[in-house]
Amino acid sequence: MHVGIWVPHDQANARVAAGLAAGGRMVRDDFAPSWWTLADAAGNEADIATTTAPRLTAAMPGGCR
């Protein structure tokens, strides 16, 4: 199973930390701060995903997200 969980960008680090504290393990953080993939002991994966932080999107033409 692989679940995607979208959270506000200012809550993403806390959610990742909570998942790790609950016994999860980091599978992938290559795309942080856009998303992280965690797994439980059985190998079920969950993505903690977020929109790009406003300071990064403000620099993009037209404020694209």
Question: Could you report the per-residue pLDDT of 20-41, keeping only the tens digit for each?
Answer: 999 999 999 999 999 999 999 9
For the chain, domain boundaries? 2-54
Per-residue pLDDT for 61 more than 70? no
Helices assigned H by DSSP within 1-65 = 12-21, 54-57
The correct CATH number of 2-54 out of 3.10.180.10, 3.40.50.11610, 3.20.20.70, 2.102.10.10 is 3.10.180.10
Cβ–Cβ under 8 Å, residues 65 and 52: yes
Per-residue pLDDT for 60 more than 90? no
Q: Which two tokens stand for residue 40?
A: 């439980």
